Structure 1
Amino acid sequence: MDRKDDIIEINLGELFSILLGRAFLIISAGLFFALSGLFVSKFVVHPTYESTTKIYILNKEENQTVTYSDVQISTQLTQDYAELIKSRYVLEEVIQRLNLIDMEYKQLASVLRVDTPSDTRIVAITVKDEDPLMAMKIANCIREVSSEHITNVMDIDAINIAETANVPTEKASPSVTRWTILSGFVGAVVVAFFVVLGYLLDDTIKSNDDVERYLGLSTLALVPLSVDEQDKKNKKAKKK
Structure 2
Amino acid sequence: MAKETKEIPEKRVVPTSAAQNPDDVINIKELFWTVAARWKLIVLAMLIGALLLGIYHALFVQPSYQADASIFITNNDSVITVSDLQISSELTEDYAKIIKSRTVLKQVIKEMDLDMDFKQLGKLVAVSNPEDSHIITITVTCGDMELCRNIANSLMNIGIDRIYQVIGSSEPTVIDYSEAEAVEEITPGLLNYMEKGALLGIALVCALICVRYLTDTTLKTEDDIRKYLRMPVLSIVPYFEEKKD
TM-score, structure 1 as length reference: 0.86
Distance 2:239 2:218 in 1: 18
1:155 match: 168
Distance 1:169 1:148 in 2: 24
Distance 1:42 1:162 in 2: 38
Structure 1 position 185, deviation (Å): 1.1
1:226 match: 240
Question: Are positions 1:130 and 2:143 aligned together?
Answer: yes
Whether contact under 8 Å (1:90, 1:142) holds in the other structure is yes
Letter in 2 for 1:39: I
Out of 69, 74, 99, the residue aligned to residue 58 of structure 1 is 74
> Percent of aligned pairs with the same residue?
33
Deviates more, 1:188-197 or 1:174-183: 174-183
Whether contact under 8 Å (2:105, 2:118) holds in the other structure is yes
Whether contact under 8 Å (1:59, 1:73) holds in the other structure is no
Structure 1 position 40, deviation (Å): 2.2
Distance 1:75 1:207 in 2: 74
Question: Are positions 1:112 and 2:125 aligned together?
Answer: yes
Deviates more, 1:168-177 or 1:198-207: 168-177
2:198 match: 184
Q: Secondary structure at the match of 2:71?
A: strand
Distance 1:226 1:140 in 2: 81
**Unpaired stretches in structure 2, ≥5 consecutive residues:** 1-19
Out of 158, 163, 184, the residue aligned to residue 145 of structure 1 is 158
2:91 match: 77
Distance 1:40 1:224 in 2: 51
How many residue pairs match? The answer is 223
Structure 1 position 194, deviation (Å): 0.3
Out of 30, 33, 37, the residue aligned to residue 17 of structure 1 is 33
Deviates more, 1:178-187 or 1:34-43: 34-43
Distance 1:166 1:177 in 2: 29
Structure 1 position 93, deviation (Å): 0.6
Q: Following superposition, which runs of at least 4 residues in structure 1 exceed 4 angstroms of deviation?
A: none
1:36 match: 52
What's the Cα RMSD here?
Answer: 2.1
Structure 1 position 174, deviation (Å): 2.8
Letter in 2 for 1:142: L
Question: Are positions 1:164 and 2:177 aligned together?
Answer: yes
Q: Secondary structure at the match of 2:130?
A: coil
Distance 2:135 2:79 in 1: 19
The CA deviation string for residues 159-208 of structure 1, in whole angstroms up to 9 with x for no partner, is: 21100012255421234343222222111101100011111121111111
Letter in 2 for 1:187: G
The CA deviation string for residues 110-148 of structure 1, in whole angstroms up to 9 with x for no partner, is: 010111012421100010110000000101000011000
Distance 2:24 2:95 in 1: 60
Whether contact under 8 Å (2:72, 2:136) holds in the other structure is yes
Distance 1:143 1:87 in 2: 12
Distance 2:132 2:241 in 1: 83
**Unpaired stretches in structure 1, ≥5 consecutive residues:** 233-240
Distance 1:75 1:190 in 2: 50
The CA deviation string for residues 64-118 of structure 1, in whole angstroms up to 9 with x for no partner, is: 5111221121122111011001100000110000011x20111000010111012
Q: Secondary structure at the match of 1:128?
A: strand
